């Protein structure tokens, strides 16, 4: 009985250590992440809604002609195209073509499925993925699972919606870390339990 208790205690401590180490690594990578290949042109820019400045960042990249196609996934059903375009405050004019809004997704997993359908319909081979830094790892996890052949460039939003001085920043990071672990574990096990 004592041996079993010691074994379980050791397993718990090791698990706790690994969880804490992964959490620190996740925090550091989320805080330090930078856009990949900022000047490289892709077939499309894909924006995941949900965080501040994501749409504005996608519109900005589109205005720089880094892709002809702009797809925004997870748009609220009440939001119209003209309202999205009205958010643009930059000096460069937005292209006249081509922006598509996806209204079906409400989770990151659904963002990936919605994007996959659009990517396949439009023969997209390369895409710049735009989301918040703290959300990028989980978003890429889902997107790579759904579209392993799509060449993806991570473009985390550089404007901070929250700072490390705010408690909500750490709550969001911790929540994203747990969701990423949970989803990754289900992917590895072959189960489909989106988060």
What DSSP element (H or E) covers 46? strand 44-48
> For tokens 């969701």, what's the residue?
179
In the DSSP assignment, the letter for residue 11 is: H
pLDDT at 28: 61
pLDDT tens sequence across 1-39:
665 555 656 555 565 555 555 556 666 666 656 777 778
pLDDT at 31: 62
Q: Which residues of the chain have pLDDT under 50?
A: 193, 195
pLDDT at 116: 97
pLDDT at 91: 78
pLDDT at 180: 75
In the DSSP assignment, the letter for residue 64 is: T
Of 188, 103, 102, 101, the residue nearest 145 (C-alpha): 188
Q: Phi then psi for 173, rounded to 5 degrees? A: -60, -45
Write b or e for each residue in 115-147: b if 16 or more Cβ atoms lie within 10 A of its Cβ, otherwise e: bbebbeeeebeebbbbbbbbbbbbbbbbbebbb
- Upper half-sphere CA count for residue 126 (Cβ side, 13 Å): 9
**58 three-state secondary structure:** helix
pLDDT at 195: 47
């Amino acid at each position: 009985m004592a041996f079993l208790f010691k074994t379980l205690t050791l397993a718990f401590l090791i698990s706790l250590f690994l969880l804490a180490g992964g959490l620190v690594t996740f925090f550091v990578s989320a805080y330090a992440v930078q856009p990949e290949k900022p000047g490289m042109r892709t077939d499309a820019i894909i924006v995941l809604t949900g965080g501040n400045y994501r749409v504005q960042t996608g519109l900005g990249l589109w205005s720089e002609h880094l892709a002809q196609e702009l797809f925004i996934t997870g748009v609220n059903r009440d939001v119209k195209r003209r309202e999205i375009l009205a958010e643009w405050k930059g000096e460069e004019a937005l292209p006249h073509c081509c922006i598509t809004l996806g209204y079906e997704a409400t989770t990151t997993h659904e963002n990936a499925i919605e994007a996959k359908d659009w990517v396949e319909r439009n023969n997209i081979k390369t895409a710049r993925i735009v989301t918040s830094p703290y959300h990028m790892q989980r978003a890429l996890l889902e997107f790579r699972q759904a579209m392993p052949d799509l060449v993806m460039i991570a473009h985390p939003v550089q404007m901070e919606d929250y700072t490390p001085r705010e408690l909500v920043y750490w709550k969001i990071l911790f929540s994203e870390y747990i969701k990423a672990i949970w989803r990754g574990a289900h992917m590895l096990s072959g189960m489909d339990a989106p988060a």
